[in-house]
């Protein structure tokens, strides 16, 4: 392999995604900064420096995902790292009983199917290359063993399902050189986390970036991590 590794970060123009991109660029990776809005993606890529490339990507749209991955491959020839960061939390105040199913669908469409779609689009290229790192942004709210409260049912279910997808993909890709892990950033000060969250984006991005840059020969796969330590499923 010659040249820097290429990392695609979904929802990479703001919040945790922007910080994950910044830390990956700092480690020498070429970052594909994606946002739904082309101008947002370009501004965020410009902030990262001349090596970063903007990408328009809406993870809920199969056509957008297909076009973005084709464009990414056209620009860089490969995608070595995928950080499935794009996510929404829109079910504040909801309970499982009497839930608004439009909110459940929208949440699953982005947090689960969105991540699944992008992974599906890049994995064949990673397998051909014999190298890949996929990191899914999970949440303590999606940990089954910590699920002793009922708020945000759609978000919790979406993140628990994303953890399941992490295990399934890791098992399927065993021995291919593609490692798939989930990272819980903790409660972080972003638009989603709000200003009262105790953790900075720098702290929240640390574990996803660690998993995205696991060295050659590392066998860590199919795990859920918080602060670089295993978190109970």
Ligand X SMILES: NC(=O)c1ccc[n+]([C@@H]2O[C@H](COP(=O)([O-])OP(=O)(O)OC[C@H]3O[C@@H](n4cnc5c(N)ncnc54)[C@H](OP(=O)(O)O)[C@@H]3O)[C@@H](O)[C@H]2O)c1
Q: Which is nearer to ligand X, 127 or 167 (CB)?
A: 167
Q: Which is nearer to ligand X, 89 or 132 (CB)?
A: 89
155 belongs to the catalytic site: yes
- How many Cβ atoms are within 10 Å of 146's Cβ, its own excluded? 15
87 binds ligand X (CB under 6 A): yes
Q: Which is nearer to ligand X, 204 or 222 (CB)?
A: 204
Part in contact with ligand X (CB under 6 A); list of ranges 46-54, 84-92, 145-153, 214-222: 84-92
- Say how far apart CA 4 and CA 30 lie, in whole Å: 6
Among residues 137, 160, 169, 173, the one that binds ligand X under rule CB under 6 A: 137
- Say how far apart CA 125 and CA 21 lie, in whole Å: 21
Among residues 6, 15, 48, 160, the one that binds ligand X under rule CB under 6 A: 15
**Close Cβ partners of 133 (under 8 Å, ≥ 6 residues apart):** 80, 81, 82, 178, 179, 211, 212, 213, 214
- Say how far apart CA 92 and CA 173 lie, in whole Å: 35
- Say how far apart CA 129 and CA 186 lie, in whole Å: 32
- Say how far apart CA 38 and CA 40 lie, in whole Å: 5
Shortest separation between residue 190's beta carbon and ligand X, angstroms: 3
Q: State the DSSP code for 187.
A: S
**Close Cβ partners of 55 (under 8 Å, ≥ 6 residues apart):** 8, 32, 33, 34, 35, 41, 68, 71, 72
State the catalytic residue, choosing from 155, 160, 163, 206. 155
Shortest separation between residue 73's beta carbon and ligand X, angstroms: 19
Shortest separation between residue 116's beta carbon and ligand X, angstroms: 13
59 binds ligand X (CB under 6 A): yes
Which residues from 141-160 bind ligand X, rule CB under 6 A?
none
7 binds ligand X (CB under 6 A): no
Among residues 143, 152, 190, 221, the one that binds ligand X under rule CB under 6 A: 190
Q: Which is nearer to ligand X, 132 or 193 (CB)?
A: 193
- Say how far apart CA 10 and CA 114 lie, in whole Å: 9
**Close Cβ partners of 88 (under 8 Å, ≥ 6 residues apart):** 106, 107, 110, 111, 192
Which residues from 192-221 bind ligand X, rule CB under 6 A?
192-193, 197
Part in contact with ligand X (CB under 6 A); list of ranges 123-131, 185-193, 211-219, 225-233: 185-193
39, 46 contact by CB (below 8 A) = no
Task: Tell me which residues touch ligand X (CB under 6 A).
Answer: 10-11, 13-17, 35-37, 40, 57-60, 85-89, 110, 114, 137, 139, 184-185, 187-188, 190-193, 197
Catalytic residues: 155
């Amino acid at each position: 392999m010659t040249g820097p590794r290429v990392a695609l970060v979904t929802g990479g123009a703001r919040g945790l995604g922007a910080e994950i991109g910044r830390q990956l660029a700092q480690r020498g990776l070429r970052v594909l900064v994606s946002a739904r809005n082309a101008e947002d993606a370009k501004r965020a890529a410009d902030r990262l420096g001349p090596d970063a490339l903007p990408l328009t990507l809406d993870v809920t749209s199969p056509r957008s995902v297909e076009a973005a991955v084709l464009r990414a491959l056209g620009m860089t020839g490969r995608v070595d790292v995928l950080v499935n960061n794009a996510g929404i939390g829109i079910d504040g105040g909801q309970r499982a009983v009497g839930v608004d199913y439009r909110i459940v669908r929208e949440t699953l469409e982005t947090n689960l199917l969105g991540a699944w779609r992008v992974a599906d689009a890049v994995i064949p290229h990673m397998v051909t290359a014999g190298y890949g790192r996929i990191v899914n942004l999970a949440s303590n709210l999606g940990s089954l063993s910590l699920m002793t409260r009922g708020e945000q049912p759609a978000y919790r279910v979406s993140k628990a399902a994303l953890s399941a997808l992490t295990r399934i993909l890791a098992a399927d890709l065993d021995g291919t050189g593609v490692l798939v892990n989930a990272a819980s950033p903790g409660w972080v000060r972003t638009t989603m986390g709000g200003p009262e969250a105790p953790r900075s984006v720098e702290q929240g991005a640390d574990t996803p970036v660690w998993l995205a840059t696991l060295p050659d020969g590392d066998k860590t796969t199919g795990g859920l991590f918080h602060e670089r330590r295993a978190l109970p499923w």
